[in-house]
Structure 1
Amino acid sequence: MKQINLEVEEGTVTAFVGPSGSGKTTLLRTLNLLQEPSEGSVEVNGSVAEAGHISKQVIAQVRQNSAMVFQQFNLFKNKTALENVAAPLILNGQLPKAAARQRAQEVLEQVGLGQVAHQYPVTLSGGQQQRVSIARAIAVRPKVILLDEPTSALDPELVESVLQTIAALAREHITMVLVTHEMEFARQIADQAVFIEDGEILDQGPAKELLSGDQPGRISTFVNSLEKVEIEK
């Protein structure tokens, strides 16, 4: 990645789009310091990480303000859906066990999974598992949720339920940054789109304009090459 200058406003959704291998996930991981920048700085809700001066304390401060949703769900196989969602709250000392479990139940209901709270991941569909991982991210009440291609590991018939869950969060003005190849979905829910290619930001702007596919150029060629997914508004 090089020459990256990006700002995400609170309460908005930003979509990172572009061809595979362009650096979208690298940039997303840098926002959570899973990958440290070699130059410049990253700031999340006032917590600043300066390249070359990133201590464990700085990493902890940045990560307290953000939560990550991965392509592969990364759920504990030996814990129920409710226990998976409650785990970060308990481990980080954010809430005592009883309160953590109560919040976990509430958040599972928010994403439409209250009825599977006591089931283990192996009994859930891929779409349900990803929604549990989204619930886990919401539960800690981060300033920003980072989603790395949250539907890429799902069968096509399971994609819609996850996209609907993300769309519902967008309507609640939860700050999100997501990497996605679902262009129509990004156009509908994102406030800002950032097109990344060869490790650089080629262009950025309002998602409805940048991802319209109506104007000639590299971005429109890319957008029009991908299948569109419709989302209920």
Structure 2
Amino acid sequence: MSLIQVQDLSVTLGNRPILKHINLEVEAGKVTVFIGPSGSGKTTLLRTLNLLQLPTQGTLQVDGIQATAGAIQKQTIQQIRSHSAMVFQQFNLFKNLTVLKNVTAALVLNKQLSNADAEKRAKEVLEKVGLLEVADQYPNTLSGGQQQRVSIARAIAVRPKVILFDEPTSALDPELVESVLNTIAALAKENITMVIVTHEMAFARKIGDQAVFIEDGEIIAKGPAAQLLSGTVPGRISSFVNSLNTTTVA
């Protein structure tokens, strides 16, 4: 069943077309990976899925809530964003709050849970990502990999319909990448719907159900990740995949 449907979606900034007539479906419980050259529009498409970027043409539907370009109300934006959580390249943690408070903040501010219940859930998800022991520490005491895993814990704590990842390892030193990728891979085994922009081809092949190759603002190809990212698909997709260094995920 499709959780997200995108129809004839375009984004233009100034006079520059960024996305061109995108048609896409994201299945519930599946992992969709966006791949393609830098500047191809992957992140813009990801941001459009929760209306951080508004489309200039077409429609977006998330869990039955539809947004039509040119007629998107504030309430629609709030409803669609309530179904998703985003993990950015930079960690975007509150530096003046402990790890635990970073995870509980959205739950409490949005009145989703009481303080006690929010703290209980936060500890559960911090344990899931292997960070319960640093719950009382502040972000600046953690490694980059740990901070990104806190961001992931914060995302899953609100129990969204879909988690959107924008190149979650791009800001990390190479030795810290594996722990973050393994955390995401573990979530994939729980059938959490995820859309991930990544250049980590081995990782994408391992956890991706659907791969979407984007170039110059257009979807050039989409299909099963294992097949599309095998490096044997003729043409520029194969050239792109084979040009990237691979990362092994345990």
TM-score (norm 2): 0.92
Q: How much has 1:45 moved relative to structure 2?
A: 0.9
Once the two structures are superposed, residues 183-227 of structure 1 have per-residue CA deviations (whole angstroms, 9 ceiling, x without a partner) of 110011000000000000000000000000013210000000001
Once the two structures are superposed, residues 77-112 of structure 1 have per-residue CA deviations (whole angstroms, 9 ceiling, x without a partner) of 000111000001011110111111111111000111
In the alignment, which of 176, 179, 183 is matched to residue 158 of structure 1?
176
2:102 is aligned with 1:96: no
Distance (Å, rounded) in 2 between the aligned partners of 1:180 and 1:215: 19
In the alignment, which of 219, 233, 243 is matched to residue 215 of structure 1?
233
Distance (Å, rounded) in 1 between the aligned partners of 2:233 and 2:123: 46
Number of corresponding residues: 232
Report the residue type matching 1:231 in the other structure: V
Distance (Å, rounded) in 1 between the aligned partners of 2:234 and 2:78: 44
Q: How much has 1:231 moved relative to structure 2?
A: 1.1
Aligned to 1:42: 60
Aligned to 1:119: 137
Identity %: 73
SS in 2 for 1:40: strand
Aligned to 1:71: 89
Aligned to 1:173: 191
2:36 is aligned with 1:56: no
Report the residue type matching 1:230 in the other structure: T
SS in 1 for 2:206: helix
SS in 2 for 1:215: coil
2:143 is aligned with 1:87: no
In the alignment, which of 218, 221, 227 is matched to residue 200 of structure 1?
218
Deviates more, 1:135-144 or 1:43-52: 43-52
Report the residue type matching 1:43 in the other structure: Q
Report the residue type matching 2:130 in the other structure: G
Report the residue type matching 2:137 in the other structure: Q
2:231 is aligned with 1:230: no
Distance (Å, rounded) in 1 between the aligned partners of 2:74 and 2:234: 46
Distance (Å, rounded) in 2 between the aligned partners of 1:110 and 1:185: 20
Deviates more, 1:199-208 or 1:94-103: 94-103
Q: Which structure is higher in RCO with an 8 Å CA cutoff and minimum separation 6?
A: 1
2:146 is aligned with 1:128: yes
Aligned to 2:30: 12
Q: How much has 1:74 moved relative to structure 2?
A: 0.2
Distance (Å, rounded) in 2 between the aligned partners of 1:111 and 1:139: 11
Distance (Å, rounded) in 1 between the aligned partners of 2:116 and 2:71: 38
RMSD: 0.6
Once the two structures are superposed, residues 153-172 of structure 1 have per-residue CA deviations (whole angstroms, 9 ceiling, x without a partner) of 00000000000000000000
Structure showing the higher strand proportion among its residues: 2
Distance (Å, rounded) in 1 between the aligned partners of 2:249 and 2:95: 31
Distance (Å, rounded) in 2 between the aligned partners of 1:90 and 1:98: 10
Distance (Å, rounded) in 2 between the aligned partners of 1:26 and 1:163: 22
Distance (Å, rounded) in 1 between the aligned partners of 2:249 and 2:144: 19
